[in-house]
Amino acid sequence: MERPLEELVAMPPLPTFEGEVKCRCIYQASCAETPVGARIIEIHRDGGEEARIVPRIGMKMKLADEAVALLPLMPTGVSGALLVRSPLIVGALRQYFELLWERATPIGAAEPESPLSAVQQKILQLLAQDMTDERIARQVGLNANSVRRHIAAIRNELGAVNRLAAGAAAARRGWIK
């Protein structure tokens, strides 16, 4: 006999801070894919938490202000934690969090829209497959010089210095499926 979801996610009411505290959390995508995990995230978002997801999280941590970090001693986080007060270490952990936050996808966000034309989107998809300009030109029915101009425009739009950086930036923005 399965228990109702509300019974599995029995949580005390979350405190409301009415804008006094900013709470941001990055969840691993697999957490949001389970009914219980999705419900927990929903409860926290209803309480004012900003939430994003990434495919995989390398480590769990909690940061408070700019002064403290809490790191689990084991991957599950149930065997104790290490309280870190070193400004240097807490600062590095905060930078790691901000980097992940920037790359994470907001939960409930609409599909990112690309400002690229349909031809440029096709070229970007083929670039992601590591095709040469000549092969891309054959695929999209343009000459190689036209493809190079489109690639330059794509790189300019993404602020990328090369093809590899353009692919990475496009993937972060959700432009590559």
For 54-106, the pLDDT digits (tens) are 888 888 898 988 889 999 988 776 788 999 999 999 999 999 999 888 888 88
Please give the residue that has the higher pLDDT: either 16 or 150: 150
Q: Which residues contact 170 (CB under 8 A, 6 or more apart)?
A: 124, 128, 154, 158, 176
Read off the tokens for 25: 């959390």
Read off the tokens for 59: 């480590």
Alpha-carbon separation of residue 103 from 61, 117, 128 (angstroms): 17, 24, 18
pLDDT of residue 96: 92
pLDDT of residue 29: 82
H/E stretch holding 70 = strand 68-72
Length of the chain: 177
pLDDT bracket for residue 157 (50, 70, 90): confident
**Could you tell me the domains of the chain?**
5-106 (3.30.870.10), 118-172 (1.10.10.10)
pTM metric for this prediction = 0.56
Nearest one of 46, 77, 70, 175 to 120, comparing CA atoms: 175
Read off the tokens for 14: 């979350």
pLDDT of residue 12: 57
